[in-house]
Amino acid sequence: MTHDDIDIIGKNVKDMYGTFMGKVVGTITDIDGSIQSVGIDCGSQGLQQIQYEQLVVQGDVVIFIPRWRLDSQRLLREKQLTLRRLKALIDIVSENDDMKVDAEIIHEKYKSKLVSLDETEREIKAKLEARLTELDEQMKSAKMLLFDAKVQYKSNEISDATFETVKSCTTEVIEHVTHETAEISNVQRRISDLDMEVQSTIAPPQKHLQESAVSYLDNSEQVVQTSLPEAPTEPVPESSETPLEVEAQSKIPEPPTETEALPTIPEPPQQVTADTSDDNNDNDWLARMEAQ
């Protein structure tokens, strides 16, 4: 145990946003004298044991760092370092193909590390979501307390001093919750961006495959275009006829030429002559009457 470690006993403890948490009342050390955890008197919340790595001494104040922040920072640091080494390994192999076989072992090692960090990342994401839920409930409670204090103040149930005290305390809680919520959202965004960068680094063959497919389609289009028939060189006469008229004319048969035999037309049936014997008898009778 160092002299600085002993000096933390009796000091006030605040969170990263300046909110008072309590005082350090003692420490628990390992066999080698290093501090493992610190006991903090949090007033009505009682005595709490906090890991020593979550505390930072700054002058007369001990700053408390939440667990989610330590875990997320460690995850980002380890993942960024593994990604940088993986990129460096890929660059080395691209510059010298002879080292490809030797680099396979190290490459698998880095990929295994990323897989193990994925499991840690899922746990951290769950903690961040749970903390955001807690902060949302605290924000609702603080706003409700402040609103109720305004109602009591307007109804002359509490004094000006009491209302100002409630207003000051709730405002401090609201600012605390706002800052921590913004910081958690920033950490979530950094984790998401790093995931995308990792995926684009460890899966480059898919990109090359897509590029090959695009180049194949381009070559296929060029082959089809070269196999098309050439356009006629003679000018095509313009016609004002519509496509329907042209199609109708193509269906009308052409007249026969002189050399072609004309079809034989059947003769009309002969008319039957009427019997005129009765008319001749009438004419003879008239002639005899005129002679008499």
Report residue 278's pLDDT band, with 50, 70 and 90 as the boundaries. Answer: low
Whether residues 58 and 76 fall in one domain = no
Whether residues 57 and 171 fall in one domain = no
Q: Region 204-223: what's the mean pLDDT?
A: 50
Q: Give CA–CA dist 97/94, Å, rounded.
A: 6
Whether residues 85 and 197 fall in one domain = yes
Q: Region 253-275: what's the mean pLDDT?
A: 50
What value does the mean pLDDT of the chain take?
A: 76
What pTM did the predictor assign? 0.61
Whether residues 164 and 99 fall in one domain = yes
Sign of CA dihedral 234, 240, 246, 250: negative
Of the three residues 204, 233, 266, the one that is the final residue of a domain is: 204
Please report whether residue 255 resides in a domain.
Answer: no
Residue 281 has pLDDT above 60, yes or no: no
Comparing 66-70, 156-160, 222-226, which segment has the lowest mean pLDDT? 222-226
Q: Region 86-102: what's the mean pLDDT?
A: 74
Residue 276 has pLDDT above 80, yes or no: no
Of the three residues 65, 90, 117, the one that is the final residue of a domain is: 65
Residue 17 has pLDDT above 80, yes or no: yes
How confident is the model at residue 114, as a pLDDT? 84
Q: Give CA–CA dist 43/237, Å, rounded.
A: 103
Whether residues 60 and 149 fall in one domain = no
Whether residues 107 and 145 fall in one domain = yes
Please report whether residue 276 resides in a domain.
Answer: no
Tokens of 255: 């007249």
Read off φ and ψ for residue 33, nearest 5 degrees: 95, -5
How confident is the model at residue 223, as a pLDDT? 47
Q: Region 80-99: what's the mean pLDDT?
A: 80
Q: Which residue has the higher pLDDT, 9 or 281?
A: 9
Share of the chain above pLDDT 70, in %: 64
Whether residues 14 and 31 fall in one domain = yes
Tokens of 159: 């004094």
Report the number of distinct structural domains present in the chain. Answer: 2
Please report whether residue 262 resides in a domain.
Answer: no
Do the beta carbons of residue 17 and residue 135 sit within 8 Å? no
Domain that residue 119 falls in: 69-204
